[in-house]
Structures are given as structure tokens and as C-alpha cells.
Amino acid sequence: MQQRLPALRVPPIGFAHRGAKAHARENTLEAFQLAIRLGATGLEADVWITKDGVAVLDHDGKIKHGILGFGPFKTAIQDIDSTDLPEHIPTLKELYEACGTDYELSLDVKSADAFEQTISVARTAGAEPRLWLCHHDWTVAAAWRQSTSARLVDSTRLARMKDGPERRAAALAEAGIDAVNMHYKDWSGGLTTLFHRFGRYCLGWDAQHTRVLEDLVRMGLDGVYSDHVDKMMAALRGEQAPAAEM
């Protein structure tokens, strides 16, 4: 068994992916509130901007039309006013009103113009320092550095680091990108040690099983994303998993 490596963040953040997705309808206020009750120390969602400039939380950014909302037609959120969205899709402002601000919030910035409105809402709520803004192009995120105290995250895969992880770590440090977020299969103890050497946080997503979660903790990751809040928080607390999960 791998020796547990030190993390920059102790304890690591437990991000509830799309709220308590395994326990409630994803990306709803109910799912986010349940995740907090189950002990999650972070929430995760994708943020989009509506036609009338409101930051909302949804996964694919398209609204289905038809019987009970199951197609066959879809309309992009950016082409819909916030007042015309289905009731289950919350605004970022509503999330803070319902759940408060005592948690880390990881948002994948999906709309090109979502950054400014997201920062405005978080700043008004007093939650900007606990915001983690993720983007698949770290150079886009780097352009935000002078405008926010939020943590900026390079959401990527190891295979996309064409110049290698050490050069990526150095580039992120120079640009003020705080963290790198990769699929759990990409991580190793050596990689966390490398990014930590450059002062960058290490985040791992799609951690759905107890063994995966425990491995990521031993590797020294600073945050993990899971649909299963109960399993995630047990692993982060170092509790014994049920026999069926071993």
C-alpha cells in the first residue's frame, strides 16, 4: 500500500459533483442542500449565462422541449431568459441564498461571458475567496487572474500536456493558476508531488468508489469530486468502509 503523501489542503475538499447526484436530482437546490447535510465540504456545478445575463447552474446547457421535457428539441440556455427556464434549474444567486457560503464552490465556466457575472454574484454573497473557477483552457483562466481572488483551475487530462507535466506546472505557477484538475486515473503520487513542488493544488474527479477515493487521499490530493457524498466524506475522514465497498 502506498504511503500517504502530504497534501497542501488538509483535510482535502470533498466536492459533491452536481450536488448529491447519487442521492437526488442533479444540479437542483435540493441536491446541493442534501450534499451539505451529508457533510460535503464543497459543491460542484457548471455555470452558464442566460439570454438576460443571469448565471445559472446546469450540466449540458441545453433545455429539452416536448412531453415532460424529454425532447425532441433542445434550446441553448444562452438563448433563453432566466424567467423561462424550468423551475429545477437554479441561479447561482439562489444557490447562495439556499445553502449559504460555508463551503468551497467549484464551477466549470461554460459560457464565454459567464466569468464576470459569476464573480459579481459570488462577490456580493461574500463567497469569492471560496470559489474555484475551472476551465479546459488554462490560458483563458489566466486572463481572469487580475480580476478575482477566486482560485483558478486548469481542468485537463494528462495526455493533453504535450510538453509534459513539469512544464505545465511551471506555466500554471507563472500564470497564477492555482490548481490542476484531472480524472482520477491520471493521478499518481509522483504527479501530486510534482505539482505540489510548484505550489499548485491537485484535484481529482470521477472518484465514485471507496478504493479510488482512498487511493487519491494517499496520493496527497487536495480535493476530490464524487457523486457519492457519503462514501467520499468517509474516505476523507479516514473511516473504515463497509465490507461491500472494500
Q: How many CB atoms lie within 10 A of CB 200?
A: 23
| 245 assigned to some structural domain | no
Grid cell, residue 245, equals 465497498
pLDDT in tens, 16-58: 999 989 999 999 999 999 999 999 999 999 999 999 999 999 9
The boundaries of the domain holding residue 124 are 13-237
Please give the DSSP secondary-structure letter assigned to residue 5. P
Instruction: Tell me whether residue 105 is in a domain.
Output: yes
Other beta carbons less than 10 A from residue 1's beta carbon? 6
Q: What is the CATH number of the domain that holds 137?
A: 3.20.20.190
Instruction: Report yes or no on whether pTM surpasses 0.85.
Output: yes
- As for how many domains the chain has, the answer is 1
Is-contact 221 204, C-beta < 8 A?
Answer: yes
Q: pLDDT per residue over 165-192, tens digit each?
A: 999 999 999 999 999 999 999 999 999 9
Look-up: residue for cell 482520477? 184
The widest CA-to-CA distance across the chain, in whole angstroms, is 54
**Residue 246 within a domain:** no
Looking at residue 240, its pLDDT comes to 57
Q: Is residue 5 part of a domain?
A: no
Query: Cβ-count burial of 45 within 10 angstroms (0-12 exposed, 13-18 middle, 19+ buried)?
Result: buried
Residue 59 DSSP symbol = S
